[in-house]
Structure 1
């Protein structure tokens, strides 16, 4: 059976299609994703550190600006995300492949509808999972604070930049990198369920450091693992990343409004 460029892939044929569309080995994709995770942060940090140097600031002034400035955080996230997107584009071009190979097709209304329709099931599944794990692991801190890099946001422009940094950029980049590039690569060699689990474990592990000085943020890892499984289901159901991007954006949007609009802890 032949598939045209950009055509949706059904669950029944996704494994065979992945093997045909993805010429690189899955382990190459895993190394690439892990490398991009750290490399993009390094580039982002190096580039935004140029501004304090040009201002001839002291070390203390520089650290304060990097930690507390909305503009610094926005610039860092924007640069890091652009590095990831550019690197994936370069990788795909190296193998003479396009964005459609990893599920980035033209958005359709039904993709958005699927994403919105998955919001409630995701939250229900997450709450059930946390309830069960809390019974099994009584010491789990479900109230541990996540370090997101933004606090005490005041003014329209800072609020808009924070919204873009948390609700727009991460869903786009993370879905392209994880549910798009990584998952598509892994299911070439693994059964769908194991490709989904491995992808979700890697995604969850990336959120463990967000506990900051308080230690690994296990509740965020549980959250993102469950979220990733739902996002992968949407990826398989629609053959596109846009349903996943929609759900991811709504989830982050709920957190944004709770923290910065309604000031809920």
Structure 2
């Protein structure tokens, strides 16, 4: 292996570890801050504040931290935010919903029927449970459908894929970023211990591939943000608005 190639993969590994560390540090600091403040609010509102603060701190560590050390700001073009969203981004995001569903279904089928590592009874753990008040439904919607897609696309398809693509090529970067995105949704700490959410990881890998391709083709994160928001919006509907499976099926 040449020194140049070794340097590329070393950079990819270091960037991946930095992104994971930034996310963990951001969430940990947010938890410390929230639970040491005299906030008098219900669990759903606190969860939303925690998620928002965690995303902000993760973005600060991942993007602004290296900029302060290197005294070099990451260009908006690398982050995929050098222009505003357009109607074509909305159209592409909606159109890409079908390829994402197909890819996710294929991967989930292989995971359940061929490799037998996915348990269909183990779903993705989410921080919102037992919603009752309108404000709780609203803040859960804002967190899952607006804030999470925007923050995750900026981190993974903006900063991470943009930086990685300049070193190892955009298409390999799409695949690697999707792998890391899936890995970040694999491990879930619960009250009974650590749970491996293989189904959630497979689905988010499929989403990562789809939005990564959109990022590579459009040189922007906005089409991916639209697709991610629609996907989370559908999940929100079936989790909180109409959670009961249809009868007669």
TM-score band by shorter chain is: 0.7 to 0.9
Question: Could you list the runs of 5+ residues in structure 2 that have no partner in the other structure?
Answer: 1-10
| CA distance in structure 1 between the partners assigned to 2:194 and 2:240 by the alignment | 22
| CA distance in structure 1 between the partners assigned to 2:118 and 2:60 by the alignment | 38
Corresponding residue number in structure 2 for 1:165: 143
Which secondary structure state, in structure 2, belongs to the residue aligned with residue 150 of structure 1?
Answer: coil
1:84 equivalent in alignment to 2:62: no
Which secondary structure state, in structure 2, belongs to the residue aligned with residue 46 of structure 1?
Answer: helix
CA contact (8 A) 2:170 2:216 kept: no
| CA distance in structure 2 between the partners assigned to 1:96 and 1:125 by the alignment | 36
| CA distance in structure 1 between the partners assigned to 2:12 and 2:108 by the alignment | 31
Structure possessing the higher relative contact order (Cα contacts under 8 Å, 6 or more residues apart)? 1
Alignment RMSD: 2.2
Residue 186 (structure 1) shift: 1.3
Which secondary structure state, in structure 2, belongs to the residue aligned with residue 215 of structure 1?
Answer: strand
Question: Could you list the runs of 5+ residues in structure 1 that have no partner in the other structure?
Answer: 1-24, 56-64
1:120 equivalent in alignment to 2:106: no
Deviates more, 1:252-261 or 1:77-86: 77-86
Corresponding residue number in structure 1 for 2:3: none
Corresponding residue number in structure 2 for 1:230: 210
- TM-score w.r.t. length of structure 2: 0.84
Corresponding residue number in structure 2 for 1:36: 22
| CA distance in structure 1 between the partners assigned to 2:116 and 2:229 by the alignment | 31
Per-residue CA deviations over 1:50-95 (Å, capped at 9, x if unaligned) read 135x88xxxxxxxxx9xx8101101100111111233324545731
CA contact (8 A) 2:117 2:198 kept: no
Which secondary structure state, in structure 1, belongs to the residue aligned with residue 187 of structure 2?
Answer: helix
2:46 pairs, out of 68, 72, 78, with 72
